[in-house]
Structure 1
């Protein structure tokens, strides 16, 4: 049997296990070990591969960033930084039509910069911003839609866990990815704000204006929000300014978030251990998936299947733009069904060689991939962020939330088209700072 056919069978075995509810990391690891054993004709070789990849990933300095950023996000949540950021944005724009929804987008963007998780951002901002919007008679569609869509910003705004993971899987520089994501993230925030402005202009009752805050109230919001601003400045400013490496920035950010929660008197023994447990649980899940993906990727690469797929697609003379659009459609579907990490680790062994063969920049592709997967987070029939909000608001119809996110999906697709048409938006700062790629 040709080695690439063994690779095909390995993929089928992996998918069967995934649909049988076997954890994705375990399914990929087992499929990789079996595939490599058959190709090499030796089970001992597979055990060596398993040990090498496991030790290599556990000892990876790049992967060590993930638990530190997760811990920073957990302590930031305990410290109440999400509420501070929301109230700060509300004090500046809460008086305009749709201002609270715009403040929600601003709060999501700010909290995403100290959290790095889409689902955590959506769930936190649901508790913080939705009660305020509903008390001001905001449309339920606009209120839930802005939270769900704003939550996706946590994936793109550095420090992003998923960008770190992409860097590890494709061996790209994490700092370069963070810098490349900055302008697309600003574009995302701007388009979401424009979407809200258009919606409330067409129907003023969707987001009625509120009272204008006086300067003393704005000053109080700034005073309360200093800790969140400081944390964002230290973490992102330290990375972009070359003061810290990404690993050092993650460690400093986690410690600073811990101090903020402690000094505010919100860090009890119970929620301290809860933050550690949540971080350990999420980290172990991510590590398991990365180790499984690494084993599976190596086995599939040895089988020659990725090159066979590249040669087959090349033989069709399909233009590169069409390949990109088809891959975007695939990721949109996967993002609506699987979680973000699963969508990436399952497909990267096949997609990345194809992108490189067509001559596309891997940094630009990483930003583009994150963007389309985040759209999938709010796309029917599932959309993870939508279900997170639905679980927290059992009396709200899920159709209402889907209706609310629809205009934001349109805005995100426009943004996707802009980044595809003008890759320099993602690469300008990378080239300006002379970062490696």
Structure 2
């Protein structure tokens, strides 16, 4: 049996384990360990398991993940997410589809502290969906805007997707964070444009909200100021070079904790809830990194990444044709896999191809994350759709999928714009790092 045959059997086993609902981290760990053991011997596989596991969990850069997750969890239990939504609603709620637009803005703002698509969708869904239902919004627009807005958590820094991409490719986390800002804002604006178009074509789908007095708007904005200050301090500090992304994560988590305590928005029970949630999510992400560190050496000795790379290079469709093939493969995988799984399994395979064709690795990180975002709201898996369905009382799953379709179109437009104009992603990191 050739090395390549063992590799192909390993890929088949990996998908079989995931179909059987084995957690993706353990599926990668099992396939990588036993596959490497078959080819290189169990003694070598055991040594690989020990060294790579230690290397993964002791990676200094990975501290960004639990710190920003803690920042998002404390913000959620302290009620700051509600303040973001109320402030956004006060300014845009009186327009057509205003509550849905406020939800998108709230998702974008909360993404800047949570770094998680699911956490963003759940947190803002609990706040915004009851309000939209009370005013009489169509279920499809209400749930679609939350599910789509939640995907911004995977793009707007501090994105866990960018952290994993940086670790897998040895690129700069700071550059990737900065690269996600303008595409994230572009996607937010496009989502709001979709809401406005839907509400204009069907006024019953997104009726105007109540007009908030000018003074009240500023009052609500000031109420949301503590979290906005944390966002500007942490992300702005990275841009100005005052501190690194790892330091920014610790400073951000510390600031929001101090603010929540001083404002008496945090009890011991809610703090414990935030910490336990952070531990659970961080453990999952650390296990995924360990699994990827075991699986990738197995793929390397099977020469499958090199074979696939050569195959893509031999298509003779040019750099952008090859990029299109890779992105279409991502779209197909997104129908059956969650975003983090796609990232850790595919990046080691496609990254050498992308860089070999002269594409900027930071730019491709943004493109890949947007395509993975699309998978989060694409049937039949669409993780964000199921999450929103869980907090949307009595709304059928088909209605949520119907609601996200126009937003998928907006994501496609954003993707095409970033491919056509790479500076949308590269302007800030290039101006920052030279």
- What per-residue deviation string (whole Å, max 9, x for no partner) do you get for residues 44-65 of structure 1? 1111211111111111011111
Q: Is the CA contact 1:88–1:225 (under 8 Å) kept in the aligned structure 2?
A: yes
Asked if structure 2 preserves the Cα contact closer than 8 Å seen for 1:5 and 1:305, the reply is no
| Alignment of structure 1 residues 222-371 onto 2, 5 Å | 222-371=221-370
Question: What count of residue pairs does the alignment treat as equivalent?
Answer: 434
CA distance in structure 2 between the aligned counterparts of 1:9 and 1:406, rounded to whole angstroms: 36
Identify the residue that residue 6 of structure 2 maps to in structure 1.
Answer: 6
**Structure-2 separation of matches of 1:203 and 1:315:** 49
Which string of whole-angstrom CA distances, capped at 9 and with x for unpartnered residues, describes residues 169-218 of structure 1? 11111000011111111110111111112112222222222332222211
Which residue does 1:26 correspond to in 2? 26
Aligned partner of 2:96 in structure 1 is: 97
Between 88-97 and 3-12, report the one with greater CA deviation. 3-12
Conservation of the 8 A alpha-carbon contact between 1:79 and 1:264: no
State the shift of 1:266 in Å.
3.1
Tell me how far 1:124 sits from its aligned partner.
0.8
Question: d(CA) in 2 for partners of 1:388 and 1:170?
Answer: 30
- The CA distance in 1 between the partners of 2:351 and 2:23, in whole Å, is 23
Task: Give the equivalent residue in structure 2 for 1:393.
Answer: 392
Work out whether residues 169 and 345 of structure 1, in 8 Å CA contact, stay in contact via their aligned partners in 2: yes
Residue 45 (str. 1) matches residue 44 (str. 2): yes
Residue in 2 aligned with 1:139?
138
**Is the CA contact (8 Å cut-off) linking 2:183 and 2:425 kept in structure 1?**
yes
How far residue 226 of structure 1 moved from its aligned partner, in angstroms, is: 1.2
Which residues in structure 2 correspond to 1:161-180 (within 5 Å)?
A: 161-180=160-179
Q: Distance in 2 between matches of 1:22 and 1:146?
A: 31
Shift in alpha-carbon separation, 1:417–1:238, aligned structure 2, 3 A? same
Kindly report the root-mean-square deviation, in angstroms, between the aligned alpha carbons of the 2 structures: 1.6
Looking at structure 2, the residues matched to 240 and 130 of structure 1 have their Cα atoms a distance apart, in angstroms, of 34
8 Å contact kept, 1:163–1:174:
yes
Once residues 84 and 215 of structure 1 are traced to their aligned partners in structure 2, the CA distance between those partners, rounded to angstroms, is: 17
Tell whether the 8 Å contact from 1:79 to 1:257 is kept in structure 2 after alignment: no
Greater CA deviation, 82-91 or 25-34?
25-34
Measure the CA separation in 1 of the matches of 2:407 and 2:345. Answer: 27
The answer on whether the counterparts of 1:121 and 1:154 sit within 8 Å (CA) in structure 2 is: yes
**Offset at 1:376?**
1.2
Give the Cα separation in 2 of the matches to 1:398 and 1:5. Answer: 40
Q: Contact 1:390/1:396 (CA < 8 Å) preserved in 2?
A: yes
Structure 2 counterpart of 1:121: 120
The 8 Å contact of residues 28 and 296 in structure 1, kept in 2 or not, is answered as yes
Per the alignment, residue 82 of structure 2 pairs with: 83
Q: What is the SS of the residue equivalent to 1:186?
A: helix
State the distance in 2 between where 1:339 and 1:265 align. Answer: 37
The Cα offsets for residues 114-134 of structure 1, whole Å up to 9 and x where unpaired, read as 111111111111111112222
Contact 1:332/1:375 (<8 A) preserved:
yes
Distance 2:7 2:336 in 1: 24
CA distance in 2, matches of 1:223, 1:407: 33
Contact 1:118 1:153 in 2 (8 A): yes
For 1:304 and 1:287, locate their aligned partners in 2 and report how far apart those are by CA, in whole Å: 26
1:310 touches 1:357 (CA, 8 Å); kept in 2?
A: no
Structure 2: how far apart are the matches of 1:433 and 1:250?
Answer: 19
Structure 2: unaligned runs, 5 residues or longer: none
Q: Separation in 2 of the partners of 1:17 and 1:132?
A: 41
SS of 1:396 mapped into structure 2: coil
Tell me, in whole angstroms, the C-alpha distance in 2 between the residues paired with 1:422 and 1:130: 35
Q: CA deviation at 1:288?
A: 1.0
CA-to-aligned-CA distance 1:53-112 (integer Å, 9 cap, x gap): 111111101111111111111101011111111111111111111111111111110011
In structure 2, the CA distance between the partners of 1:19 and 1:207, relative to structure 1 (3 Å rule), is closer
Matched residue of 2:60: which SS?
coil
Q: 1:406-436, CA deviations, whole angstroms, 9 ceiling, x for partnerless residues? A: 111111111111112222211122222235x
TM-score, scaled relative to structure 2? 0.96
Distance in 1 between the 2:7 and 2:392 partners?
44
Once residues 211 and 310 of structure 1 are traced to their aligned partners in structure 2, the CA distance between those partners, rounded to angstroms, is 56
Q: CA deviation at 1:21?
A: 2.6
- TM-score scaled to structure 1, two decimals? 0.95
CA distance in 2, matches of 1:231, 1:164: 20
